[in-house]
């Protein structure tokens, strides 16, 4: 196609039909049935797939965060502790491990995780978080102001 004037240039649809379609067909090569072979079907499913892939990259991050939360919660429940109290207790003791690390520790380093749970529980008991039934040993014996963690 020769672009003799501006009007034609605007109407031109880009590369040759074969190459334009081949780009789509290459992406649709592994699809099933007519979405693989029929252009009008193929382009529809390719567009949908690309849009899903774009959205999925964000969803993956959210899904992973949810998964880590679930794992950490399960890890706490082994020791009879709620997730919120656990996180609160850690934050109040200035331990700033994130959810990913806590879930990794819960799976691969159970003894370290148990230590973290103990630290958090003791801190929660000392500060009197509502979820902890047991009174802190420190509170009962020595009083709050004698607790020196630093």
Partner 1 sequence: MSFLAQTMRQVLRQVPSRTAALAGGMRSLSISPAFLQQNKPATESVDISAISKDQQKECSNICERINQQVAKSEQGRLFAVVHLCGKQFKITPGDIILVEGYWPPTIGDEISLDKVLLAGARDFTLVGRPILEPGLVSVKATVVEKTLTHTKTHFRKKRRKQYMRINFQRSPNTMIRINSIELARPVDGNSEAEVEPSKRLF
The residues that touch partner 1, with contacts defined as CB under 8 A, are: 47, 50-51, 53-54, 57, 93-98, 100-101, 104-105, 108-109, 111-112, 115-116, 119, 127-130, 135, 139-146, 148-150
CB of 129 vs partner 1, minimal distance in Å:
5
CB of 80 vs partner 1, minimal distance in Å:
18
In whole angstroms, give the CA distance from residue 57 to residue 110.
31
Q: Give whole-number Cα distances, 37 to 56, 92, 131, in Å.
A: 26, 61, 61
In whole angstroms, give the CA distance from residue 125 to residue 141.
13
CB of 2 vs partner 1, minimal distance in Å:
27
Cβ proximity to partner 1, 4 vs 124, nearer residue: 124
| Dihedral, CA of residue 138, residue 128, residue 145 and residue 95, to nearest 10 | 90
**Which distant-in-sequence residues (6+ apart) come within 8 Å of 119 by Cβ?**
89, 90, 93, 95
Cβ proximity to partner 1, 2 vs 96, nearer residue: 96
For residue 127, count other CB atoms closer than 10 A to its CB: 16
Cβ proximity to partner 1, 33 vs 143, nearer residue: 143
Cβ proximity to partner 1, 34 vs 61, nearer residue: 61
CB of 49 vs partner 1, minimal distance in Å:
9
């Amino acid at each position: 196609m020769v672009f003799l004037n501006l009007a034609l240039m605007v109407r031109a649809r880009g590369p040759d039909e074969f190459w334009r379609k081949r780009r789509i067909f290459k992406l649709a090569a592994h699809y099933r049935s007519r979405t693989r072979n029929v252009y009008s079907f193929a382009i529809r499913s390719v567009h949908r797939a690309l849009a899903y892939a774009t959205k999925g990259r964000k969803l993956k991050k959210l899904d992973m965060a949810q998964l880590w939360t679930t794992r950490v919660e399960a890890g706490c429940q082994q020791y009879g502790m709620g997730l919120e109290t656990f996180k609160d207790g850690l934050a109040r003791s200035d331990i700033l491990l994130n959810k990913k690390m806590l879930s990794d520790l819960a799976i691969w380093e159970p003894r370290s995780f148990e230590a973290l749970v103990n630290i958090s529980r003791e801190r929660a008991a000392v500060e009197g978080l509502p979820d902890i039934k047991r009174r802190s040993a420190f509170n009962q014996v020595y009083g709050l102001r004698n607790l020196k963690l630093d």
